[in-house]
A and B are shown apart, each in its own frame.
Chain A
Amino acid sequence: MSLQDFLTMRHELLLTVAAILILILEIFRNPAKKKGIITFSTVVFGLITLIGMIPVPEGILFGGMYVSSQVTTLMKNILNIGVLIVLIQSVTWLSKEENSGKISEYFILVISTLLGIDFMISSSHFLMFYIGIELATIPIAALAAFERYKNKSAEAGIKLILSSALSSGIMLYGLSMIYGTTGTMYFYEVSHLFAGNSLQILAFIFFFSGMAFKISIVPFHLWTADVYEGAPVNITSFLSVISKGAAIFILVIILFGVFPVIMFTWQKTIYVTSILTMTIGNLFAIRQQNLKRFLAFSSISQAGYILLGIIGGNSLGMASIIYYILVYIFSNLGAFGVVAVISNVTGKENIDDYNGLYRTNPRLSLIMTLSLFSLAGIPPVAGFFGKFFLFTAAAQKGFYFLVLIAVLNTIISLYYYLLVVKAMFINKNEDPIARFKSDFPTRFALLICVAGIFFTGFASMIFEYIQNLSFGV
Chain B
Amino acid sequence: MDILTLFIVIPVLTITGIVLAGDIKRVRVVAAVGMALQLILAAVLVILYLSQRRAGNVDEMLFVKDFVWFSTLNIHYTVGVDGISVAMIALTSLVVFAGIFASWEVDFLTKEFFISLILLATGVFGFFISIDLFTMFLFYELAVIPMYLLIGIWGSGPKEYSAMKLTLMLMGASALLLVGILGIYFNSAPDGNRLTFNILEIKNYIIPIQAQRVFFPMTFIGFGVLGALFPFHTWSPDGHSSAPTAVSMLHAGVLMKLGGYGAFRVAIYLMPEAAHELSWIFIILTSISVVYGAFGAIVQKDLKYINAYSSVSHCGLVLFAILMMNKTAMNGAVIQMVSHGLMTALFFALIGMLYGRTHTRLINEMGGLMKVIPFLAVCYVIAGLASLGLPGLSGFVAEMTIFVGAFQHPDLLHRIATIVVVSSIVITAVYILRVIAILLLGPTTNSHFEHLTDARWFEKLSAVTLIGSVAAIGMAPFWLSTMIGSSVQPMIEKILSFKPF
Contact = CB atoms under 8 A, between A and B. Distances in A.
A400 B149 CA distance: 32
A205 interface: no
Contacts, number: 79
Given A392-B182, A464-B72, A411 B171 contact: yes
Interface stretch (A94-102, A111-119, A132-140, A419-427): A419-427
A415 B175 CA distance: 14
B152 interface: yes
A467 B72 contact: yes
Contacts of A403: 178-179, 182
A460 B67 CA distance: 12
A422 B168 CA distance: 14
Interface stretch (B45-53, B138-146, B382-390, B449-457): B138-146
B164 interface: yes
B141 A378 contact: yes
Interface string A372-395: 010000111000100011011001
A460 B70 contact: yes
Nearest to A387: B178
B497 interface: no
Interface in B141-162: 141-142, 145, 148-149, 152-153, 159-160
B330 to A, nearest CB: 30
Contact of B214 (A389, A400, A421): A400
A395 B141 contact: no
A373 B178 CA distance: 17
Contact of A395 (B159, B171, B186): B186
Contacts of B167: 414, 418
A407 interface: yes
A407 B149 contact: no
Interface in A335-394: 373, 378-380, 384, 388-389, 391-392
B160 A379 contact: no
Contact of A379 (B69, B73, B141, B185): B141
B477 interface: no
Contacts of A415: 164, 168
A418 B170 CA distance: 14
Contacts of B71: 460, 464
Interface in A394-440: 395-396, 400, 403-404, 407-408, 410-411, 414-415, 418, 421-422, 425-426
A463 interface: yes
Contacts of B153: 425-426
Nearest to B218: A404
B17 interface: no
Interface in B64-102: 69-73, 75
Give the interface centre of B72, B149, B153, B172 by most chain A CB atoms within 10 Å: B72
Interface string B123-140: 000000000001000110
B72 A404 contact: no
B4 to A, nearest CB: 18
B164 A391 contact: no
A425 B153 CA distance: 7
B138 A379 contact: yes
A391 B178 contact: yes
B183 interface: yes
Contacts of A400: 179, 182-183, 214
B73 A408 contact: no
Given A392-B182, A400-B214, A467-B72, A373 B175 contact: no
A408 B172 contact: yes
A378 B182 contact: no
Given A400-B214, A415-B168, A418-B148, A410 B175 contact: yes
B182 A395 contact: yes
Contacts of A389: 73
Contacts of A316: 73
Given A418-B164, A460-B71, A464-B71, A407 B214 contact: no
Contacts of B141: 378-379, 384
B148 to A, nearest CB: 6
A407 B175 contact: yes
A418 B159 CA distance: 14
A415 B171 CA distance: 10
B172 A460 contact: no
Contact of B182 (A384, A391, A410): A391
B196 to A, nearest CB: 13
Contacts of B145: 373, 378
Give the interface centre of B159, B171, B176 by most chain A CB atoms within 10 Å: B171
Interface string B437-449: 0000000000000
A463 B172 contact: no
Contact of B175 (A379, A396, A404, A422): A404
A464 B72 CA distance: 6
A316 B73 CA distance: 9
Contacts of A414: 167-168, 171
A341 B168 CA distance: 30
A467 B73 CA distance: 10
A379 B141 CA distance: 6
Contacts of A422: 152, 160, 164
Nearest to B69: A460
Contact of B152 (A380, A391, A425, A467): A425
A426 B183 contact: no
Contacts of A467: 72
Nearest to A319: B72
A244 to B, nearest CB: 25
Contacts of B160: 422, 426
A396 B171 CA distance: 23
A409 B142 CA distance: 19
A464 to B, nearest CB: 5
Nearest to A389: B73
Given A379-B141, A415-B168, A418-B148, 19 more contacts: A316-B73, A378-B141, A378-B145, A379-B139, A388-B178, A391-B182, A392-B185, A400-B182, A403-B179, A404-B175, A407-B175, A411-B168, A414-B167, A414-B168, A415-B164, A425-B153, A460-B70, A464-B70, A468-B72
Q: Which 7 A-B pairs have the closest CB atoms?
A: A407-B175, A395-B182, A426-B152, A379-B138, A460-B70, A467-B72, A404-B179
14 contacts: A388-B178, A395-B182, A395-B185, A396-B186, A400-B183, A400-B214, A407-B176, A410-B175, A414-B167, A414-B171, A418-B164, A418-B167, A425-B152, A464-B71
